[in-house]
Chain A
Amino acid sequence: MGKLEAKNITLRSSEKIVLDDVSVEIPWGELTLVMGPPDSGKQFFIKTMAGILIPSKGQILYNGINIYDGNIATQKKHDFRCSFVFQNGGLLANLTIYENLRLALDNFFHKMKDDEKVELIQNYLSRYNLPGIINKRPSELSVDNLKTVGFIRALMIDPVLLIMNEPFSDCELNTVDMLLEEIGKLKHRKLTMLVVNQTTANFEKIADWVIFMEHGKIVNKSKSDQQGMME
């Protein structure tokens, strides 16, 4: 059981304040949906929670420790692994799908043997019905497959925090169903998830909490069944 919180986060982008003194606790082991109008700062918020953006003020605390202190050893020491699923997959264009997935494994699992990594990648791709794409480049894949591979890459490192940016946008219905089923399983395993989505569509039954943002601030955080917008 962990405790994750953003404490007085302020972030500037091009001299504009995009996150304004944001403080919030992310419920551990639950799925939190982040919503808000365009330019409300939700993308900046999840990227800051993932350590991709460094706030000009404030900290991300994991069990009371500043987890993104500029030293990767801090995350390793506290067994904190955060994965991010990008809207466009975020796969490296000049690597094959195998190389993309292998990069994540090589970086996180130093002691894992080569054949174990190959087997793990093959197992994941088979599980998501994508065995034929292993040697393809991201540009050869459909949007659905890009998102699925991005999702696989995020899961492969066995994260304690999974952050997703618009996981279903532009996806076909069967892919949405498949990803929803997987997210449901992760929720059952009590994985902490933070998801940005434009609407509550698809998340009505699985979101535990909803955070609503406006003008770089969190204006509301509530249990999903208590949130007016969810009804």
Chain B
Amino acid sequence: MDITGKIGTKTVTVIGNITYFWQFCIEVMANIFTFAKNIRIASLVLMRQILFTGFDALALVSFGGFIIGSVIILQGSAIFPNLANSQLMFTILVSVVTRELANFIPALILIARSGTAMTTELGNMVINNEVDALVSMNISPISYLVVPRTIAMVFSLVPLGIYFNIISLFAAGIVSQFLLNVNLADFSIKLFSQLTFLDVFISVMKSVSFAFAIAIISCYHGLKIDFARTEVPQRTSKAVVHSISAVIFLEILITIVSLQY
């Protein structure tokens, strides 16, 4: 095949994959609205996913939050020697932690922990005929496998984002008190004076959109695996790359939109 033929074939494949992915997204969204009907059979999957994706990630998110909060305040103290009186430092803290990192870092943690687990698990289920078994029992793999994972990702990432936010700001306050001799009460007052409802709202919106993107992309790649076990690590790595790209894209998009307000 000549170069033109190869480009043509590749273009058709890419367009086909994008179309298929959007159809998959639409089907997932449609099934989310009818999830209540399937809660009887899918509740166990939902509970297990929330436990694994949300609760089991608490330790790692706590560690990340503490480190980020501490590092930002330590770096800030080098730029603003009179930290307690610097309003700008608190503005930066709220902008960087609450608006950006409180969603972004937990999202990366969940891509690494749960996104990879979803792709691997669903891929192995396809290979072991488990997905076919569900279809043979008239159970939709979308409503039984994908929707509970998507809902669990939303119910995990939103609280984890809020939790990361609290831990980071708390760590910043503690480090300020003990290493920089800034009174914790003063720190809290100045911090909360900078925090608005819009900051929290944007933070939650980002968490929700990241959660949908991570879950749908990870499940899509898992169910796309065909026959061979060797496809599992390949698809998992693709899912990670695509999830990170989607999160970065959404991060930039929502930040640009939010800056208009």
Task: Kindly list chain B residues whose C-beta atoms are within 8 Å of the C-beta of A130.
Answer: none
Give the interface size class of chain A.
20 to 34
Partner-binding segment picked from B58-66, B135-143, B207-215: B135-143
Task: Kindly list chain A residues whose C-beta atoms are within 8 Å of the C-beta of B48.
Answer: 94
Q: Which of A11-50 contact B (CB under 8 A)?
A: 14, 47, 50
Asked if B128 is at the interface of the complex by the 8 Å CB criterion, the answer is: yes
Contact across chains for B125 and A93 when beta carbons are under 8 A apart: yes
Q: Which of B133-155 contact A (CB under 8 A)?
A: 133-139
Asked if A92 is at the interface of the complex by the 8 Å CB criterion, the answer is: yes
Whole-angstrom distance from the CB of A71 to the nearest CB of chain B? 11
Whole-angstrom distance from the CB of B144 to the nearest CB of chain A? 9
Q: How many A-B residue pairs have CB under 8 A?
A: 55
The number of residues on chain B lying at the interface, defined by a beta carbon within 8 Å of a beta carbon of chain A, is 19
What per-residue 1/0 map shows which CB atoms of B40-78 lie under 8 Å from chain A? 110010001000000000000000000000000000000
Partner of A51 from the list B121, B124, B135 (CB cut-off 8 Å) is B135
Asked if B34 is at the interface of the complex by the 8 Å CB criterion, the answer is: no
Partner of B138 from the list A75, A91, A93 (CB cut-off 8 Å) is A75
Contact across chains for A86 and B41 when beta carbons are under 8 A apart: no
Contact across chains for A82 and B136 when beta carbons are under 8 A apart: yes
- Closest 8 A/B residue pairs (Cβ): A90-B133, A84-B136, A90-B129, A86-B129, A52-B135, A106-B41, A52-B132, A72-B138
Which A positions have Cβ atoms within 8 angstroms of B? 14, 47, 50-52, 72, 75, 82-84, 86-88, 90-95, 99, 103-104, 106-108, 110, 157
Q: Sample 30 A-B pairs with CB under 8 A, ordered by A number.
A: A47-B132, A52-B132, A52-B136, A82-B136, A83-B136, A84-B132, A84-B136, A86-B129, A86-B132, A86-B133, A87-B129, A88-B128, A88-B129, A90-B128, A90-B129, A90-B133, A91-B133, A92-B130, A92-B133, A95-B44, A99-B44, A103-B137, A103-B139, A106-B40, A106-B41, A107-B137, A107-B139, A108-B138, A110-B40, A157-B137
